Amino acid sequence: MASATEAEEFLDPSFGSGASAEVVGNVQDDAKGGRAVETILQKLPRDAEAMLGQSAKLVCLSKLLPKLAKQGHRTLVFSQSVKMLDLVQICCLKPNGLRCLRIDGQTDPASRAEKVAKFQREKERFQCMLLTSNVGGVGLNLTSADRVVLVDPSWNPATDAQAVDRAFRIGQEKEVRVYRLIMSGLIEDKMFRLQVFKMGLTKTALEADQKQCYFTAREIRALFEWTEPAVGETRKLLQDKHGSELDEAVFEAAKDDGSEEGWLSTTLGLSDFGSLYGASVEEDEPEEQDGASAALVLEAKEKLSAADEKLQKATEAKQAAEAAQEELRVNFEAASSACDLAREAKLAREEQAKEKAASLKHAKGAEQGAQKRLDKAFKAKAALQDSHFVAQQAAETAMGSLNTAEAAVADAIVAAKAIEGSFVKAFEAVEKQFSIVGPGGRAASADGVVDAKADATRKAVKALEKLKSTWETYCTRQAELDTAEDEFHKSEQLLAEAEREQTLLGNGDDDEGVAGSDAAKLAIARKGAELAKRGREKERLRAEQGLQKAQKKADDSREAAQQALQTLQEAGQAFVESFVKTTVRTVRADQVKAAQAATKASLRPLNSSFQSTKKGRDGVSKALQLRKKAQTKHASAATSEVEARMRLAEGEKEVEEANQEETALRAAREEAEARLAEAEAEKRNAEAEEVQSKKHRDELKAAMPGAKERVKEAKLAEKEATSERSALHAKCSKVEREKTQLEEAKSAAVQMLKAEEYDPSQVTNAYEKKAH
């Protein structure tokens, strides 16, 4: 958020005789000056340079605005008068080559947003924007500007504040400085002083702390009197309130804006506008009042304060006496009741002693019964520990068998895959041997030795591709079967775990008890275990069905591979028998026979290796069956171990409950003995309390007449203080009426000041009358 600094420049109205400026009429701006001012200037016997010399404000602006633009600052210039904006534009901006935009009452409302956007966007092109306070001071966001100049003050301070806020808004990233140009000693000085008075009233009404009082009743009346402009009475008043240190800070800020280069020399001085409401008024600095009225008010306040203090003390004394009397009465009644209670307590204590003796006898019998139940629970626990040990050993043995079966399955799968790898090698040898003859029955290479019949070659190649396809399908189905076997085995394990979990939770009744209790939580857990078991059973059923489907697919693919292998054997024999000498080159007969023998030799291992793969898969199936049996035994043993563990836990719980019961009954017996002794002691104390209560009651009864007399005296003193205070209030009413009349006179003076309005067009009207 940007910071804001505001300063007032008090100008000497007689300054400007030595100022000079040149009106450049050829400069084209987006804003056009009013024709009325140009007409007036043309009728005057002086030029624009002379007009500039007649106005201290124009002289100051003609030096301030170019300096701000040179330093990269963008300035908003506000004025109550459209013609004053014309003078600023013609006499200050154009001669210095500064371009500007303008928004006033003559600006089309539809084009105002466009001008604001252009000023915000084209920062290098436009250095200033001229605005009237009533039109441009509300609803615009001009955060691209960081300097604001208020050429003339408004009767309403909120109007000037709204104008300043056009730059000091959310989105402003620079320090905002505000210059207020006030003509010292003239109507603007009075307007500014009235602004300060109004804003002080507003601050005092809306905020908790009382702000600095810059104008007393005497100073308000002085607003209607003539003041020498060179004196700068308002500025002197601000210095008297805050000293010169704040002005020094303002001068330092003005240095940053080029005050040393001439524009400050056109003013009487600077003041910090922001300090007007920065500090609260000191408690020892009251507003000035008329001497006689102030003395009367002060005397009345002192007497009234003394009367109030006297009445307060009398009231407090009466209340204290009444409270003491009431406390005495309450204590007396309590003492009387205590005497009756003491008599009743002695009889009650005797009856209680008899009851405590009977309770002690009953507690001793219950303690002996609990000791017998504890011995029985210890014996049952020992037997359950032996049963649990046996079940635990059986579960460990079953686990070992299951691990052995798991290893056997893994070994069988490895062996089966190795055998299948042998078949793949045999198939590759056949495929390689068949490749000596190319398509059409010709030798595949230039050094080939045999040709074959085209039909036999085609059939052999087709049978070879068929076997390859069916073998790949067989391998895929076999992998699916292995996956189904694993899923089925996993589902059986999960089902066994769910059964053990259900067994561990036990079978209870359906009563869930109170929500949130242990019984309710256990019932919920049992239902969850039952649902989990059902889910595992469904998963096992799906896995079993999937295993059956995978087994059937694997068997079908094996049969298809067997048939493809048989077809390949027959086609291969025909293919070999059709071998003849190649026509490509000269070949001996023994070379043809060697090729036939090699091809037949490559076909022979296929059948045996395929049968070996079948035996390998059968071995895997047997290992899986053994693993399933081991899994079943392990699940049964694990369930038995859980049941034994639960029975042991129940036995331990019974021992703990019996032990707790025996401990509780022993404590109850000891407590019964202590209560019997306590009842005997209370019986003796009751007699002593009865004697003490009677003595206390008699003392309170003797003190009651004195308390009643003190209450009577306190009421009489309060009545006298009330009468004295009422008399003083009647006397003070007259003083208040006199003070009200003084305030009414002050308000009338303020209303007269508000009625003194400044006509910004009075200069124009005077020139027009002279021209006519």
Reported as a single tens digit per residue, the pLDDT across 155-189 is 888 888 888 888 888 888 888 999 999 888 777 87
Asked if pLDDT for residue 486 goes beyond 60, the answer is: yes
- Tens digit of each residue's pLDDT (9 = 90 or more) over 118-133: 999 998 899 999 999 8
Amino acid letter at 282?
Answer: E
Band of the pLDDT at 224, cuts 50, 70, 90? low
What's residue 479's pLDDT? Answer: 84
Tell me whether strands 128-132 and 267-272 are parallel, antiparallel or unpaired.
unpaired
Q: For residues 360 and 370, what is the distance between their CA atoms, to the nearest angstrom? A: 16
What's residue 131's pLDDT? Answer: 93
Band of the pLDDT at 100, cuts 50, 70, 90? very high
Asked if pLDDT for residue 19 goes beyond 50, the answer is: no
Asked if pLDDT for residue 8 goes beyond 80, the answer is: no
**Of 79, 80, 74, 93, nearest to 32 (Cα)?**
93
Q: For residues 22 and 97, what is the distance between their CA atoms, to the nearest angstrom? A: 11
Asked if pLDDT for residue 89 goes beyond 80, the answer is: yes
Specify the range with the lowest mean pLDDT, choosing from 133-137, 261-265, 525-529, 632-636: 261-265
What's residue 672's pLDDT? Answer: 85
Q: Which long-range contacts (CB under 8 A, 24 or more apart) does 314-322 make?
A: 314/714, 314/717, 314/718, 314/720, 314/721, 315/718, 315/721, 317/714, 317/717, 317/718, 318/711, 318/714, 318/715, 318/717, 318/718, 320/714, 321/707, 321/710, 321/711, 321/713, 321/714, 322/711, 322/714
**Mean pLDDT (whole number) for 689-717:** 82
- What average pLDDT does the chain have? 77
Q: Are 704 and 321 in contact (CB under 8 A)?
A: no
Specify the range with the lowest mean pLDDT, choosing from 9-18, 53-62, 515-524, 742-751: 9-18
What's residue 244's pLDDT? Answer: 61
Asked if pLDDT for residue 209 goes beyond 60, the answer is: no
Q: pTM, whole model, 2 decimals?
A: 0.38
What's residue 44's pLDDT? Answer: 60
Q: Are 87 and 51 in contact (CB under 8 A)?
A: yes
- CATH numbers and ranges of domains, the chain: 4-181+234-279 (3.40.50.300), 398-615 (1.10.287)
